[in-house]
Amino acid sequence: MAKITRKPAPRKAAMPKKKAKAAVAKPKAPVRTSQKAAKPWTPAEVHEAFSRFRTANPEPKGELEHVNPFTLLVAVVLSAQATDAGVNKATRALFAVADTPQKMLDLGEERVRDYIKTIGLYRTKAKNVIALSAKLLSEFGGEVPRTRAEIESLPGAGRKTANVVLNMAFGEHTMAVDTHVFRVGNRTALAPGKTPLEVELGLEKIIPAEFMLHAHHWLILHGRYTCLARKPRCDVCLITDLCRWPEKTV
Ligand code: SF4
């Protein structure tokens, strides 16, 4: 009997392991926002940074125009995803005719909408301004309440709104984290965090009480005019020597 010789089955071309991995490897995320690994600030360094902010600007002011706690509350609600300058442009005329919840209610949603139509999301915001005015009248005697839970219960108001109002209207030591404070907290590694709440709690933990009344404004102004999002002005920054940002431009 003739001997059957089997041809060996052709081997599958094995992909070199390293190459296979490389083919699916994701690009490395740039190390831009996480400063978790940075050396934490010492209490003396934090004190030094805020002393410098205080010396440079002893009485920092917010840039949202308002004439009382109610108009501050409305301005903050309108400022979501809008610039302070854009909000001020619209509210100057609005607050001239409606600076109390009752006057706002009397003005009505349609006219409020007309005043604020240059601001993003103005339809929803007009609805919220009317609804919060009605709630202030029906549940809080027409006054802006003084507790976080009560402010957060108002239509259109969240944690950041409550923090701004509690700080600016009632002098409480709260830390509102907007896009600027979030960036500065992370870049400097003063309070690294993935969410605004993490940064808020981190800042509250390390900033001494003597600076807390103005800390929110110092950090906002620092982010808005010095520690700019795209191109931080490290050459004129007051805290260059303390900041942990590895990509400092000086
Ligand atoms: S040194 Fe540069 S990155 Fe650091 S806080 Fe100042 S401006 Fe921002």
Interval 142-179: pLDDT, tens = 999 999 999 999 999 999 999 999 999 999 999 999 99
Q: In sequence order, what are the residues at sequence separation of 6 or more whose Cβ sits closer than 8 angstroms to the Cβ of residue 107?
A: 97, 98
- Burial class for 4, CB neighbours closer than 10 Å (0-12, 13-18, 19+): exposed
Q: In sequence order, what are the residues at sequence separation of 6 or more whose Cβ sits closer than 8 angstroms to the Cβ of residue 102?
A: 133, 137, 142
pLDDT at 2: 41
The Cα 81–Cα 138 span in angstroms is: 29
Q: With 50 as the cut, is the pLDDT of residue 21 above it? A: no
The Cα 67–Cα 81 span in angstroms is: 22
Q: Going by CA atoms, what residue is nearest to atom 2 of ligand 1? A: 234
Could you list the active site residues? 160, 178
Residue ranges of domains in the chain, CATH in brackets: 43-60+174-236 (1.10.1670.10), 69-170 (1.10.340.30)
- Tell me the pLDDT tens digit for each residue of 117-127: 999 999 999 99
The Cα 83–Cα 180 span in angstroms is: 12
The pTM for the full model equals 0.83
The first and second tokens of residue 129, run together, are 């301004």
For residue 19, report the distance from its CA to the centre of ligand 1, in Å.
40
For residue 70, report the distance from its CA to the centre of ligand 1, in Å.
35
| Pocket lining: 240 vs ligand 1, CB cutoff 6 Å | yes
Core vs surface per residue 29-45: b (16+ CB within 10 A) or e: eeeeeebeebeebeeeb
Q: With 90 as the cut, is the pLDDT of residue 228 above it? A: yes
- Tokens 């139509």 found at: 117
pLDDT at 248: 86
For residue 244, report the distance from its CA to the centre of ligand 1, in Å.
8
Mutate to test the pocket of ligand 1, among 48, 188, 231, 247 (most ligand atoms within 8 A of CB): 188
Q: With 60 as the cut, is the pLDDT of residue 14 above it? A: no
pLDDT at 217: 97
| Pocket lining: 245 vs ligand 1, CB cutoff 6 Å | yes
Mean pLDDT of 66-88: 96
The overall average pLDDT reported for the chain is 89
Mutate to test the pocket of ligand 1, among 187, 235, 238 (most ligand atoms within 8 A of CB): 187
Q: Going by CA atoms, what residue is nearest to atom 4 of ligand 1? A: 243
Cα angle value 36/80/110 (rounded, 5°): 170
Mean pLDDT of 233-239: 97
The pLDDT confidence band at residue 76, using thresholds 50, 70 and 90, is very high
| Pocket lining: 226 vs ligand 1, CB cutoff 6 Å | yes
3-state secondary structure of 74: helix
| Pocket lining: 243 vs ligand 1, CB cutoff 6 Å | yes
